[in-house]
């Protein structure tokens, strides 16, 4: 896949243009284009418009038997005609989002070695150590703006899927294009194959990755160092998004690289920003102040710690002392409540440890701590039981429940459980989508705290401002911008986030706010255009066909 602008300068003819997904228009090539490009006889004679093509795509889409078949169908479309793919996804974003990303992408990754059709992106294995520059040089486009990279060790809540995790970078970059208008030719998905500890994959003759145990320790770190150094050399303008690395590596790699490279970790910072935006929006419903909230996090991994730290930053911006802000966050891990008397805590957990009795059962913890907000980031499905939620609802008129684990099977509770066990009083958000719930003669629309509300806009803002590093302050800016988008009507129906059909507008606003914040904080290395809003709008990729007779 080469850069689109470069391709237009030297248009391929005949079957070659039909085989390039960036240029292919299928049955939409005009008579003049067919003559000019040597396509006579290679296509059926009737010419279809982009809208008619989309109509046919949707008809076939709905005819598929299940969501995985729909996923395969849409990926096949992406492989042959990217313009039509993105036109369809943008127009039908609320239908397409659960198919091309969570929750269906989880199942797709589990079966990736079976449904693999055509390679997308780059696979860099530990066998390529010392040769990564050559591997990156094999990518046909030198103008890369966004890279999403995974090592496949913690795919959603599904665990170690090795190279089968490639579905995640591919899906994330599709959302960069659909939601923030990053040109698809400038997106690069990468999977780092460092082995796998998944015994099923190690025994599976169809598995496409290295069948050896995962690299770890100094060898692993050296490999990642080489990767980062080489990417910065080959693609110096690229944003590098880390995705689905294991807890043991995610936070420490972010800390290691975030002040030296244009990089961020979406599972930590993106999740933190979208969760914080939901909490800020919740305050409009409860008429309370963010600084008066007490949070219990069920799960003390990188996602939970990330949310808590951004929450602390938001409170400090309001003038709340750091130690007071930290004291408003309580964590529960596999060992129970995170308290100072425990001797098994990491440094990140110690920051949030309380001088309190060591309790182990979640219901007892909620009963004792009396939080206003319960956040699930545990990957433990159905762990917010009816007694837990009813206890929370006993001392909160509008209990705030965020069950953020993905995919749907890992969600700490369903939307229906949260609403019914609180008699419709809960303010609910989840990581994966749930259907609307009818209760007390009212239809409530569950909020999906999807990172897609954050990372595309942040990425676009970073690209525009050319900031060499991505500070947490930019994610706080993104959270505040997102929280202003939910209308009073949306709030009344249970929504904490705007409808997905507004996602390009949201991403554009976040990009503008992030670029301005980067400039204000002297992070930007370029002067922003005088008419920033128009500039951002004009550079967003719009999936419409080019008239090749005028090129």
> Which residues are identified as catalytic?
101, 172
- Cα 144 to the center of its chain, rounded Å: 19
Taking Cα atoms as reference points, which of 258, 241, 98, 261 lies closest to residue 173? 241
Torsion angles phi and psi, residue 219, rounded to 5: -65, -40
Please provide the size of the chain in residues: 551
Tell me the CA distances in angstroms from 521 to 120, 302, 389, 467, 516, one per residue in order: 37, 26, 42, 10, 9
Contacts of 216 (CB under 8 A, 6+ apart): none
Residues 225-251 as b/e (b if ≥16 CB within 10 A, e otherwise) read ebbbebbbebbeebbbbbbbbbbebbb
Tokens at 502, concatenated: 């507004």
3-state DSSP assignment of residue 242: strand
Tokens at 152, concatenated: 């496949």
Tell me the CA distances in angstroms from 454 to 265, 332, 511, 535, 550, one per residue in order: 12, 26, 9, 20, 37
Contacts 24+ apart (CB under 8 A), 68-74: 68/104, 68/107, 68/108, 68/111, 68/115, 70/99, 70/104, 71/99, 71/100, 71/104, 71/105, 71/107, 71/108, 72/108, 72/115, 72/117, 74/99, 74/100
Tokens at 542, concatenated: 């719009």
Interatomic CA distance for residues 61 and 74, integer angstroms: 8
Taking Cα atoms as reference points, which of 285, 233, 252, 276 lies closest to residue 398? 285
Interatomic CA distance for residues 524 and 469, integer angstroms: 9
- DSSP 8-state symbol, 214: P
CB count in 10 Å sphere of residue 59: 9
| CA angle centred on 56, ends 52 and 57, rounded to 5° | 115
| 257 contacts 292 by C-beta, under 8 angstroms | no
| 174 contacts 456 by C-beta, under 8 angstroms | no
| 280 contacts 479 by C-beta, under 8 angstroms | yes
């Amino acid at each position: 896949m080469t850069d689109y602008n470069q391709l237009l300068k030297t248009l391929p003819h005949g079957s070659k243009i039909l085989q390039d997904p960036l240029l292919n228009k299928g049955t939409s090539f005009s008579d003049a284009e067919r003559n000019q490009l040597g396509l006579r006889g290679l296509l059926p004679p009737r010419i279809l418009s982009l809208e008619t093509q989309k109509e046919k795509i949707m008809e076939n889409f709905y005819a598929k038997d299940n969501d995985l078949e729909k996923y395969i169908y849409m990926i096949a479309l992406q492989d042959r005609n990217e313009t039509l793919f993105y036109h369809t996804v943008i127009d039908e974003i609320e239908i397409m989002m659960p198919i091309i990303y969570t929750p269906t992408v989880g199942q797709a990754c589990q079966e990736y070695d079976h449904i693999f059709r055509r390679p997308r992106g780059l696979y860099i294995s530990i066998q390529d150590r010392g040769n990564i520059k050559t591997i990156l040089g094999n990518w046909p486009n030198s103008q890369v703006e966004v890279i999403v990279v995974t090592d496949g060790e913690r795919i959603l809540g599904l665990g170690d899927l090795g190279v089968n995790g490639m579905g995640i970078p591919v899906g994330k970059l599709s959302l960069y294009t659909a939601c923030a208008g990053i040109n698809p030719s400038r997106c690069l998905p990468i999977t780092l194959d460092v082995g796998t500890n998944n015994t099923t994959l190690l025994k599976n003759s169809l598995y496409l990755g290295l069948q050896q145990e995962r690299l770890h320790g100094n060898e692993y770190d050296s490999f990642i160092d080489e990767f980062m150094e080489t990417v910065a050399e080959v693609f110096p303008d690229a944003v590098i998004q880390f995705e689905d690395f294991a807890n043991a590596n995610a936070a420490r790699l972010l800390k290691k690289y975030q002040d030296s490279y244009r990089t961020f970790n979406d599972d930590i910072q993106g999740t933190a920003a979208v969760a914080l935006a939901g909490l800020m929006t919740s305050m409009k419903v409860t008429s309370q102040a963010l600084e008066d909230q007490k949070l219990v996090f069920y799960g003390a991994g990188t996602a939970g710690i990330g949310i808590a730290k951004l929450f602390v930053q938001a409170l400090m911006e309001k003038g709340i002392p750091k130690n007071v802000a930290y004291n408003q966050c309580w964590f529960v891990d596999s060992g129970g409540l995170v308290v100072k008397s425990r001797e098994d805590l990491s440094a990140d957990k110690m920051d949030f440890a309380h001088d309190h009795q060591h309790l182990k059962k979640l219901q007892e913890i909620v009963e004792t701590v009396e939080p206003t907000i319960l956040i699930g980031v545990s990957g433990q499905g159905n762990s917010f039981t009816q007694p837990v939620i009813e206890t929370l609802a006993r001392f909160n008129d509008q209990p705030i429940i965020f069950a953020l684990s993905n995919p749907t099977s890992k969600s700490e509770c369903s939307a229906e459980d949260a609403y019914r066990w609180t008699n419709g009083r809960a303010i609910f958000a989840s990581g994966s989508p749930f259907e609307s719930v009818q209760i007390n003669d009212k239809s409530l629309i569950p909020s999906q705290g999807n990172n897609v509300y954050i990372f595309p806009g942040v990425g676009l803002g970073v690209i525009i401002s050319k900031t060499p590093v991505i500070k947490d302050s930019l994610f706080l800016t993104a959270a505040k911008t997102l929280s202003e988008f939910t209308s009073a009507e949306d709030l009344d129906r249970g929504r904490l986030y705007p409808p997905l059909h507004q996602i390009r507008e949201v991403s554009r606003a976040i990009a503008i706010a992030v670029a301005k914040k980067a400039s204000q904080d002297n992070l930007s290395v370029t002067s922003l255009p005088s008419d920033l809003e128009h500039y951002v709008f004009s550079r967003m990729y719009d999936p419409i066909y080019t008239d090749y007779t005028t090129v």
